[in-house]
Structure 1
Amino acid sequence: MKAVGVVVEYNPFHNGHKHHLQMARTQAQADVVIAVMSGSFLQRGEPAILSRWARTEMALSSGADIVVELPYAYSVQTAERFAEGAVHILSALGCTSLNFGSEAGEITPFISLVTFMSKHKQRYNEHVQHFLKQGSSYPNASASAFALLEGSEQLLPLSKPNNILGFHYVQAIRKLHSAMKPETTLRIQSDYHETTIKKGPIASATSIRNALNNGKPIDNVVPQKTAERIDHYQDEHGLLHFWERYFPYLHYQITTRSPEEIRQFAECEEGIEYRLIETGLKASTFEEWLSLLKTKRYTRTRLQRLFVHLLTSTRKEELESIHTSSLQYIRLLGMNDQGRNYLKHYKKHLPVPLLTKHAELKRFGTAGQLDLRTAHCYWLCLPSENISKQLTAEYKQTPIYTKKHGI
């Protein structure tokens, strides 16, 4: 059986994602689509608005055959680290290709760009450091450094988020000597940064989240199963997981810890712990805190990742330990009949254990403990009487199984 891999967050799953799954299967002529999906917290430093279990259900109902989790140590990271973690997992699962959405829609420009950057790596890094010392944020420093490289104007622009991720997927495949073939699907109709839903059946995840946060309808831009699952989730938990609901826990962290302690958390660099405490004591909401903290040097995404690590007490040394180790396990979140048949035949070839129970993470040292802890932190925003109930449910949860192959 032939498998194609996709790297996803599904925050939430929408019609554009459904199109991508269909195109990935078709382009690769694959029997199985395997989605490696971020768990409770996401690459841009946000809690997923719905649990990984709800998002797994959405994916299985609309085209994915297997869903596995991208561990926290890779999901809340830079694009480079995020891509490397995903490529490791999809390679281990035997995918023959990796398909990602992009504004370019063709794979050749990505391959050319990776080749170009490998030849100009030293010069590029020197330029990046120069702009960082001048006070630029890393994204701006990267863009400025790239523009200074001779011949860069003829290459794929890296101003679009999905193009940036695509570049890192292709780079990771080459760096890790993966046998996977990179492929890409053209993004259609909506722009990644669009904040409002426009006419047509496809909208950005950002615009959909904004609509949900403001009580506006989304039915025309998501599959029916997604709309139903979101309604059910809100009825069951009384909320969606937006940052504001975690503000009291973030505030607790900076009021009960010294600057020296806060400095140990991942993404806390260059003395920002002092500014974090000072602005946090003035803010009354998450958005106000972020606004007070944000500077030319620190982007919203970088600060949000810092907030996630602060919320989950994730220390630099923990991530360093995991990143310098080999892949230890793969966490299965869900599958359908087609996916189960694939895993049944391929399982003996897996280089690492395939975990199906939450408690199994305890056996895997720092990496497992980090995934356990961050999964628990995700539920802190629930009413206090429901937190213990949900933590118990986490331990009992088994991979979601759907008999019917949904496309």
Structure 2
Amino acid sequence: MKAVGIVVEYNPFHNGHAFHLEKTREKANADVVIAVMSGQFLQRGEPALLPKWSRTKMALLAGVDIVLELPYQFATQKADTFAHGAVSILASAGCDALCFGSESGDIAAFNHTINFLESNHGEYQSRFKLHIEKGVSYPKALSSAFNDLNPSESLVDLSKPNNILGYQYVKAIRDQNLHMKPITISRTNAGYHDEDFSSETIASATSIRKALFSKDGRIENVLPYVPAATAELLEDYYIQAGQLHQWENYWPYLKFRLLQSTPEELRMIYEVEEGLENRILAKVLEAESFSEFMKAIKTKRYTWTRLQRVCVHILTNTTNDEMKIRMKNPSYIRLLGMNDVGRSYLNKWKLHTQIPIISKMSSYQENDILLDIRSSRIYALGASPAMRSKLMKMDYEQPPIYIK
């Protein structure tokens, strides 16, 4: 069976994702689509709107055959580490190809860009360091250094979010010397960061979340942009949990954590560096909400996304040491869900994979998957009290979701 991999967050699954999924299967001529999906906290340092189990069901109902979890140590990272973890898992799952959406839509351009940067590596690094010394953010420094090299129009625009991730996927495939074919599909209508609806049926996940959390936020507002199954799962979870997940739900817990921390303790947290701990501890005293706190600590050097990731690591008490020993290569594959096609593929694949597949937590060493368990428990604090205890137990009690 020929398998194609995709890297997703589905926060939530929408019509643009459905288009990508349809084109993925078609372009790869694949029998099986395997999604590696971020868990409870996401690449931009945000809690997922819905738990990973609800988003797994969205994926399976839309036609994904197998859903695997991207572990916390990769899911909450900048693009290169995020891509390394995702590509490694898809390779271990036996994927023949990886398909991603991009603003470019031209896979040859990604290969040309990698060759271009490899041949100009020294100058690129030198330019990058110069921009960092000027106090700009990491992604801005990368983009500026790239533009300093006067790239031709045949190369990928590395200021675009999906192009950046796509570049890292293709580079990870090359760096890991994998026989995995990269395929890209042009994004249509809505941009990744678009905050408002600009099409009758296609909208970004950002604009969908914004509509859901607006003052008159109702699931009815997003019905034109999501499949019926997504709308139903959003409604079901809202009824059970009393609210969807967003950073403001966690602000009291983050503030409590910060108010009892010393600068020395914060410096042990992953990505807290260069005196950032002092700014954080000074500004938390004044802030009355998460958005207010973020506006107070944001600087030219630190992007909103970078600071959100820092806040996730503070909230989950994730240290430098914990991350560094776990982010080299995935040591397990967590199965979140499958359909009949996925089950058939899994029965053959599990005989050949070299890293363990986790379907029951009781059969695996907790220490290896500690960050996922801890982050899931912290994530549960963002739900109503009635739902909280159920969510905290789900990593142990919820079997992989199976859709016939």
TM-score bucket of the superposed structures, by smaller chain: over 0.9
Report the Cα offset of residue 390 of structure 1.
Answer: 2.5
Tell me the residue number matched to 2:209: 209
Match of 1:41 in 2: 41
How far apart are residue 128 of structure 1 and its match? 1.0
Instruction: Report whether the alignment pairs 1:328 with 2:360.
Output: no
Q: Which position in structure 2 is the counterpart of 1:136?
A: 136
Deviation of the 1:382 alpha carbon: 2.4
1-side partners of 2:69 and 2:143: how far apart?
31
Choose 327-336 or 384-393, whichever is displaced more: 384-393
CA contact (8 A) 1:60 1:335 kept: yes
Alignment pair present for 1:399 and 2:400:
yes
The 3 A distance-change label for structure 1 pair 272 and 152 is: farther
Q: Residue 240 of structure 2 contacts residue 387 of structure 2 at CA under 8 Å; is this kept in 1?
A: no
Code of the residue aligned with 1:93 in structure 2: it is A
2:313 aligned with 1:309: yes
Match of 1:371 in 2: 372
Cα 1:360/1:256, change in 2 over 3 Å:
farther
Residue matched to 1:63 = 63
Alpha-carbon distance between aligned partners in 2 of 1:152 and 1:127, rounded to the nearest angstrom:
18
Identity of aligned residues (%): 49
Deviation of 1:385 (Å): 5.0
In 1, distance between residues paired with 2:378 and 2:152?
43
**Aligned partner of residue 218 in structure 1, secondary structure:** helix
- In 1: Cα distance, 2:316 partner to 2:363 partner: 20
Aligned to 1:248: 252
SS state at 2:284 partner: helix
In 1, the alpha carbon distance for the partners of 2:78 and 2:234 equals 28
Q: Distance in 2 between matches of 1:64 and 1:153?
A: 35
| Structure-2 residue corresponding to 1:155 | 155
| Amino acid corresponding to residue 220 of structure 1 in structure 2 | P
What is the DSSP-based 3-state SS (H/G/I as helix, E as strand, rest coil) of the residue aligned with 2:99? strand
Structure 1 partner of 2:194: 194
Task: Give unmatched runs, 5+ long, in structure 2.
Answer: none
Aligned-CA RMSD value? 1.2
* Correspondence 1:21 to 2:21: yes
- Partner residue in 1 for 2:388: 387
Indicate the residue corresponding to 1:270 in structure 2.
Answer: 274
Deviates more, 1:394-403 or 1:351-360: 351-360
Q: Distance in 1 between matches of 2:335 and 2:313?
A: 24
Give the conservation status (yes or no) of the 8 Å contact 2:104–2:157.
no
One-letter amino acid of the structure 2 residue matched with residue 37 of structure 1? M
Alignment partners' CA distance in 2, 1:358 and 1:118: 42
Q: Equivalents in 2 of 1:192, 1:268: separation in Å? A: 27
| Whole-Å separation in 2 of the counterparts to 1:134 and 1:360 | 50
2:354 aligned residue: 351
Contact kept, 8 Å, 2:243 with 2:384, in 1: the verdict is no
Contact 2:360/2:399 (8 A) holds in 1: yes
Q: Determine the C-alpha separation between the residues in 1 that align with 2:4 and 2:139.
A: 30
Deviations 1:325-349 (A, max 9, x none): x421100000000000001111101
1:225 aligned residue (224, 229, 236): 229
Structure 2 Cα separation of the partners of residues 9 and 309 of structure 1: 19
Deviation of 1:189 after TM superposition, in Å, equals 1.2
Which residue of the partner structure matches residue 296 of structure 1?
Answer: 300
Which 4+ stretches in 1 moved above 3 angstroms?
150-154, 358-361, 383-386
Deviation of residue 359 (structure 1)?
3.8
Aligned 8 A contact 1:147 1:153 in 2: no
Quick one: distance in 2 between partners of 1:120 and 1:314? 36
CA contact (8 A) 1:68 1:332 kept: yes
CA contact (8 A) 1:143 1:158 kept: yes
C-alpha distance after superposition, 1:17-64 (max 9, x if no partner): 011011000001000000000000000100001000000000001120
DSSP 3-state at the match of 2:351:
helix
Per-residue Cα deviation, 1:281-318 (whole angstroms, up to 9, x for no partner): 10000000000000111100000000000110011111
Deviation of the 1:384 alpha carbon: 3.7
Amino acid at match of 2:335: L
1:57-206 to structure 2, matched below 5 A, reads 57-152=57-152, 154-206=154-206
Compute the TM-score of the two structures, normalised by the length of structure 2: 0.97
Counterpart CA distance in 1 for 2:287 and 2:165 is 33
Amino acid at match of 1:265: I
> Gaps (5+ residues) in structure 1?
none
Paired residues, what number?
Answer: 400
Return 138-147 or 387-396, whichever deviates more: 387-396
CA distance in structure 1 between the partners assigned to 2:67 and 2:168 by the alignment: 21
Question: Are 1:146 and 1:152, in contact at CA under 8 Å, matched by a contact in 2?
Answer: no
Contact in 1 for aligned 2:5/2:90 (Cα 8 Å):
yes
Mapped to 2, the partners of 1:347 and 1:384 lie a distance apart of 38
> For structure 1, which segment, 383-392 or 202-211, has the greater mean C-alpha deviation from structure 2 after superposition?
383-392
Partner of 2:30: 30
Do the aligned residues in 2 keep the contact of 1:290 with 1:303 (CA within 8 Å)?
Answer: yes
**Amino acid paired to 1:350:** T
Aligned partners of 1:110 and 1:167 also within 8 Å:
yes
TM-score (norm. length: structure 1): 0.96
The residue type paired with residue 345 of structure 1 is: K
